[in-house]
Amino acid sequence: MLEYLRNVSEKPLAKVLIALLAFSFIGWGVAEWILGGAARDTTLVTVGGEKISMQQYSNEKSRTLANMTREEQRATYADSAKTNALSAQVLATIITQQMVQNRANDLGFVVSDHRVAREIREMSEFQQNGQFSSFLFNTVLNQSGLTEEQFASILRGQIMRSMTLGALSAPMSVPQFAINAAYNARYATRDIEYATVKVSDFKVANPSDDELKTFYAQNPHTVPETRAVSYVLVPADMGKPDEYDAKYAIALKVEDDIIAGENMEATAKKHDAKYISIKPFAKFAKIDDKIITDDVMPKVFDMAQGEDSELMETKDGFVIIHIDAVNPEHNAEFETVKKGLIADWKHDRQTKDAYIRANELLVDLNNGKKLSGAKSVSVSRTSGAPMAVLSGAFNNALKTNTIIPTDDAFYVLSVKSEKMPKADTKKTDELRKEMQESALRGLRDDYNEFLKRKYPTKINKKVYDRFFEK
């Protein structure tokens, strides 16, 4: 047979058939790799059309960790909150860098190889006895796991970003009149009088049931909507392609069985998956569960009772969620909250009595009478009286009489006069620097918002969910 094939293989028709046969075998091996590429897409985020891979993120995270002390590294690894914060910081950094890089490209900035080489030669890390050391250069690169081309590319990007953002580091000029106005507003003092009417000074008897019911009708206690859910989890190490594919196939079978009407718990047992049932919880409650996270919560509360979610990917595997019960929002029964209402009713009545007394004092003050129990003080914006009084003293015009309400008291306030501050060169210089920094920060924020609009960011949710804690 083999001899026959060898003999006919030189004929034109045989060559065509062999080529088709070879392509079909190649296709069997390659098609899954080609067509399944989406499942193994390593693009973590797209910024203005430019892709940032998971490998780029990992490299940036490694560099960030390398710049930490051993104690900082240990503290980060030991605390999941710090680990998540580091991940978010690194992701934000590479997104910002890519936005600026995109802007540099659009502006046509170019960094020559000569400029990159000069920057490398002048770096202090690569200097020995005042001269560039190839040995130090190669040692540092080997320790960081970078090739010369990769290091040059990183440096080129840094230079281009500095060219793009260079103008945002120049000092901002603030007009002198603005500094003077801010100085006077900050350091001026005001002479005031104020009297304190404490809510707790007014004594009231316990309410009757009828008074409590009337009060409750006006101030009902709302019980928020709660939901009981269950889910099937097909555990998987989502970072391993082979395991991902195998578990995904199982998850599809689980989904098919559930769609066919099979019991969720029985289906989980059948496919060696995990079945979890969670007691009723409110929308903004903290659930001690790795699947029902803050990101998943909105989806749970958008579904109807008895509904199943689509097959979802999480960092722990594949999940289908079922809504077991929905308990709608409702007002609590009076008898269940009666005891707690007494304190609320008494505080409400005391507050009303205190407000009446404060109004009596204000009326007398407006009629030219002396403010009973008043304190006469000179106040700045930060000291001299309770904070609510300070706010009222500078937010009201001179010669104003008013009532300042707080949770536990009413203040009857009279703003008498204002004193402008004396000139102080040191304070003026400090204020000028502060206002310059504030103006520059505002400019940077505006430019950052421009970059966000110009180069929108899109997270690859499948890759993100696979690698990031929630």
Residues found in the chain? 470
Q: How does DSSP classify residue 172?
A: P
| CA distances in angstroms from 411 to 152, 374, 415, listed in the order given | 66, 10, 12
Other Cβ atoms within 10 Å of 82 Cβ, number: 13
Q: What is the pLDDT of residue 40?
A: 62
CB burial readout 27-51, b (16+ within 10 A) else e: eeeeeeeeeeeeeeebebbbbbeee
Q: According to the model, what pLDDT value does residue 23 have?
A: 41
- Is residue 287 within 8 Å of residue 235, measured between CB atoms? no
Q: Which helix (H) or strand (E) holds 169?
A: none
pLDDT confidence of residue 9: 45
pLDDT in tens, the chain (470 residues): 334 444 444 544 444 444 434 444 444 444 433 444 444 678 999 999 999 999 888 888 888 888 888 888 888 888 878 888 898 899 999 999 999 999 999 999 998 999 989 989 898 888 888 889 889 888 888 877 778 888 888 888 888 888 888 878 777 889 999 999 999 999 999 999 999 999 999 999 999 999 999 999 999 999 999 999 999 999 998 878 889 999 999 999 999 999 999 999 999 999 999 999 999 999 988 888 989 988 899 999 999 999 999 999 988 999 999 999 999 999 999 999 999 899 999 999 999 999 999 999 999 999 999 999 999 999 999 999 999 999 999 999 999 999 999 999 999 999 999 999 999 999 999 999 999 999 988 888 999 999 999 999 999 888 887 777 55
- CA trace torsion 403, 404, 406, 409 (10° rounding): -50
Instruction: List, in sequence order, every beta strand (DSSP E) within 236-273.
Output: none
Give the Cβ contact number of residue 448 at 10 Å: 14
Residue 225 burial (C-beta neighbours within 10 Å; 0-12, 13-18, 19+): middle
pLDDT value for 180: 94
Q: Tell me, letter by letter, the H, E, C secondary structure of 357-379.
A: HHHHHHHHHHCCCCCCCCEEEEE
Helix 80-106 × helix 70-78 angle, to 10°: 110
Q: Other C-beta atoms within 10 Å of 16: how many?
A: 10
State the Cα–Cα distance between residues 187 and 423, nearest whole angstrom. 10
pLDDT at 207: 94
CA-to-CA distance for 309 and 298, rounded, in angstroms?
12
Task: Provide the whole-model pTM.
Answer: 0.58
Closest to 416 in 3D by CA, of 188, 193, 195, 194: 193
Q: Give dist(CA 192, CA 173) in Å, integer.
A: 37
Three-state SS string across 278-329, please? EEEEECCCCCCCCCCCCCCHHHHHHCCCCCECCCEEECCEEEEEEEEEEECC
Single out the residue of 53, 49, 57 nearest to residue 456, CA to CA.
49
Q: What does 366-432 look like in DSSP terms, one character per residue? A: HTT---TT-EEEEE-SSSSS-HHHHHHHHHS-TT-EEEEE-SSEEEEEEEEEEEPPPP-HHHHHHHH
- Please state, in angstroms and rounded to a whole number, the distance separating the CA atoms of residues 189 and 200: 31
Continuous segment of H or E residues that includes residue 52:
strand 50-53
The single-letter code of the amino acid at 28 is: W
The answer to whether 403 and 410 are in contact (CB under 8 A) is yes
CA distance 267 to 270: 5
- Distance, in Å, from the CA atom of 304 to the CA atom of 225, rounded to the nearest integer, reads 13
Residue 357 has a pLDDT of 97
Three-state DSSP at 452 gives helix
Structure tokens of 164? 């793009």
pLDDT number for residue 469:
57
Burial class (CB within 10 angstroms; exposed 0-12, middle 13-18, buried 19+) of 351: middle
